[in-house]
Amino acid sequence: MLELLLQAAFDIFSLQTLMFLMLGVLVGLVFGVIPGLGGTTALAILMPLTFGMEPIDAFAMSGGIMGAVGAGGAITAILLNAPGTAPNAATCLDGYPLARQGRAAEALGATSAASALGGMFGVITLLMVLPVAKELILLFGPPEFFLLAVFGLVTIALSDSDNLLRGLITAGIGLMLASIGYDSVSGGVRFTYGSDYLWDGIPLVPSLVGLFGITEMIRLSISGGSVAADTSSVHLHGVMLGVRATFRHWKAVIRGSIIGTLVGAVPGVGGTVATFISYSLTKKADPHPETFGTGRIEGVIAPEAANNAKDGGGLLPTLAFGIPGSSEMAVFLGILVLHGMQPGPAMLLQNEREIYGLILALTFSALLSAVVSLVWIRWLAMITLVKGQILAPLVIAVSLVGTYAIDSRPGDVLLAAAMGVLGYLLVRFNYPRLPLVIALVLGETAERGFLQSMMIGHGEWGIFVATPTSIVMVLLILLSLGWSIVPALIKIFTKHKQGPADEKA
Amino acid sequence: MMKNTDRTRRQFLKISSMIPVLILISITGCSGSAPAGYPASDIKIIIPYNAGGGFDTYVRALGPYLEKHLPNKINVLPINVPGAGGRRGASDVYRASPDGYTIGVFNLPGVMLPQLQGEDVGYDLFKVSWLATISIDGYAYIVKKDSPLDSIEAVKQMGRPITYGATGPSSTSYIATTIVSDALGIPYEVVTGYTGSSEYILGVIRGDVDAAFANLSTVRPYLDSGDVKMLAIIGTESTDPTIRDATGLGIPELNNISVIRMLGAPPGLPDDIKTTLENALLAAVNDPGFQDWLKQTGNEVHYSGAAETTRSVAGMAKFYENFKQKLE
């Protein structure tokens, strides 16, 4: 394997290939920054251009794009609370408060470093696991998918113990929204009211742009001022502070990377789930979880590490079985096929050298995009000083245009706007948006997994503990529940005990 | 005095502003409808799948060869219009202007079944200006590699209903599964809900279900790697004597069941434009460069021209009408 890596390194370090890598990184950063556009769009647009290219150049460019998009998206997530790509939405939660405190540069420095480290972790894991990839993918069938979705829902819904009831309510809203559209199990179409637009359900990216980006711009317009609440305290030189913070909080990096790689490897679940679970678990593991959302630096480190680690993970099912780990991977699959490689068990043997080339490209992309964005950061952070009256309409316009650019559907733009209003209402009345998003993403997986499991198991509940994987998932869910509910229960019991004791005294 | 110069200035402006407008009108008048100039600008080819999926790469590979064999130097632009199982792309093509600048891929019988069931689909396949058939993809009946089932007879003697994996109840995989199994007299259950054929092929390998019907082009890598084995093939002829096809199984009438990709244009396409496109497509498909790509990637092309495609659409509709109750 080492010999192959060296050969691949040799391929990558040719001037031409490096140029394509750099091009991919730049394109990825730009596409990442614009809300609504993302890696999927970038790859799809550049795919025809790769037609005449050498496979290694095409892969270098693709790797460059995939590794850089998350870094670009983190920039807008932090500065404007508008996730540049769907997985960056988790970064908004603590990133934007940091920007409001004038610590945007620090946050950006932290995310760049976290992206680089997470990306490398994901790629190393991929290399180690690739030989047994097939067996791993086969561990996840419908029962395991259902349990994974439940785990995701439980983690998120219980992540905010103060707002537990409201979290459950918004999760419920998310599940209802998730049920809209064609159901592949029954073949029925639900809640579309005859509209073709809703046939495939509520699309995720416009929803996120609306819920986090447009909502925040509405808030900014109403409250006035600029993103950085107190402009006198903006530290433009905080970048290295942020980078150092990432290395200090190495536990958050590791946690985010592991979750990102694992969740990214499960096909169909996608990067958004990876970053949100990473955020929630980091929050839970912290001695002061309630401070998350006010500007904790770990709150941006963990999701961004996950965001890049997921690329390494996502390549696992993509290369091993031709089943894309995410929509980005789906387009990348197309690029593979365009260059005459049929993803699947055969490809891993026949095209090893190109694959290692891709893996190296991903690694270097994570590093390169960190370096490139660090150079820009000082100037980018100045955006937080701009007055809301100028910034808000600009960001809303760019976000809506970017949303339209995804699929050329006017419905997407309307949806983003509607979600923006919904998001504002949620925030205004203190309802958390996070559970809604996760429920929207996982609702379909959960329902499909459950119904298919019932079909496969002929209605027996035992199907959910039939394999070691499913038993592990069930234990994880119970642990999660226990972690959240038990402390709450203890609090209630100790209050009761103290009550009568006070009376006696 | 001032008024006079004002008036002359205004008149001058009026007349001189007419000139660019007249020029523009005459230019646009020239390019629009003259068939001798076709194609005068880029042609959009609509792909009803997501980028990277399904038939997308095939069309993108064919595009440059189509460009090469069309007169004038124009581009063929692949546009992805995914959604609603291919129906969105189909209706986009159908509703476009029949000027030869929008054509598209139709996946049949996928987009035909809802039309046959009387749904409001936004297109009428009998009115589409058909240009060519590009591919015919038969269904492989697969089981996992170490399955005890090694033939259709073994399936019939299982002693319990066989479980199949499929996507949705109105999908072509489900239709193929139910029609063929009924015709062969095999009792079965179908686990629906898989998001794509790769997913239910994995389901077979994993053991969720016993067997499945999958398009040859999708399942080939799994056959090559030995993860699954094929018991029969429906929709194309079998070249392997150990694998039976529809004729060999005694159900030759079911040889029609396959996934067919056709290229079509909006209804009312002028005949000369149609001929130009048809000829260019034939040349593109036979171009040695494209043939090389096919060999390299293991893809196949099954071409037939406009007239035959129109006939097969009618024939397909008649075939599936027989099974309408099953689709309800």
Instruction: Give the pLDDT confidence of A87-131 residue by residue, as tens digits.
Output: 898 898 899 888 888 888 888 889 988 998 998 898 888 888 877
The pLDDT confidence band at residue B266, using thresholds 50, 70 and 90, is: very high
pLDDT at B73: 85
- CA B220/CA A350 separation, integer angstroms: 16
The stretch A246-269 carries a mean pLDDT of: 86
The answer to whether A189 touches A180, Cβ cutoff 8 Å, is no
pLDDT tens-place string over residues A22-41: 888 888 888 888 776 778 77
- CA A166/CA A157 separation, integer angstroms: 9
pLDDT at A389: 80
CB-based contact, B298 to chain A, within 8 Å: yes
In chain A, domain spans:
2-504
pLDDT at B54: 60
ipTM exceeding 0.90, yes/no: no
Q: Which two tokens stand for residue A437?
A: 């998003």
CA of A120 to nearest chain B CA: how many angstroms apart?
Answer: 26
pLDDT at B28: 47
Put simply, the chain B residues between 211 and 230 with a CB less than 8 A from any chain A CB are 220-222, 224-225, 227
pLDDT at A114: 92
CB contact under 8 A, B221 and A323: no
CB-based contact, A331 to chain B, within 8 Å: yes
pLDDT tens-place string over residues A265-295: 877 667 888 898 899 888 888 888 888 888 8
CB-based contact, A196 to chain B, within 8 Å: yes
pLDDT tens-place string over residues A162-204: 677 888 899 899 999 999 987 877 777 888 887 778 877 888 7
CB-based contact, B163 to chain A, within 8 Å: yes
The pLDDT confidence band at residue B211, using thresholds 50, 70 and 90, is: very high
Judged against a pLDDT cut of 80, whether residue B27 lies above it is answered with no
The stretch A2-11 carries a mean pLDDT of: 75
CB contact under 8 A, B169 and A332: no
Q: What is the pTM assigned to this prediction?
A: 0.74
Judged against a pLDDT cut of 50, whether residue B26 lies above it is answered with no
pLDDT at A155: 74
pLDDT at B30: 43
C-alpha to C-alpha distances, A405 to A89, A208, A271, A440, B71, nearest whole angstrom: 19, 15, 20, 22, 31
pLDDT tens-place string over residues B99-152: 999 999 998 888 898 888 888 888 999 999 999 999 888 899 999 988 888 888
| Chains A & B: contacts with CB separation below 8 Å | 128
CA of B160 to nearest chain A CA: how many angstroms apart?
Answer: 13
Q: Concatenated DSSP letters for B29-95?
A: HHHTT-GGG-S-S-EEEEESS-TTSTTHHHHHHHHHHHHHHSSSS--EEEEE---GGGHHHHHHHHH
The pLDDT confidence band at residue B269, using thresholds 50, 70 and 90, is: very high
Looking at chain B, the whole-number percentage of residues with pLDDT higher than 70 is 86
Looking at chain B, the whole-number percentage of residues with pLDDT higher than 90 is 30
Judged against a pLDDT cut of 80, whether residue A159 lies above it is answered with no
Smallest CA-to-CA distance from A269 within A330, A314, A304, A308 is with A314
CA of B143 to nearest chain A CA: how many angstroms apart?
Answer: 15
The pLDDT confidence band at residue B237, using thresholds 50, 70 and 90, is: confident
- CA A227/CA B185 separation, integer angstroms: 69
Q: Which residues pair with B79 in a beta bridge?
A: B46
The stretch A338-356 carries a mean pLDDT of: 70
Put simply, the chain A residues between 442 and 461 with a CB less than 8 A from any chain B CB are 448, 451-452, 455-456
Nearest CA in chain B to A336: B52
Angle at A212 between CA A30 and CA A315, to 5 degrees: 55
CB-based contact, B75 to chain A, within 8 Å: no
CB-based contact, B300 to chain A, within 8 Å: no
pLDDT at B103: 94
Domains and CATH numbers, chain B: 41-137+259-327 (3.40.190.150), 139-256 (3.40.190.10)
Q: Which of A456, A458, A460, A467 to mutate to test the interface with B (most CBs of B within 10 A)?
A: A456
* Residues of B with Cβ-Cβ distance to A324 under 8 angstroms: 52
- CA B301/CA B327 separation, integer angstroms: 29
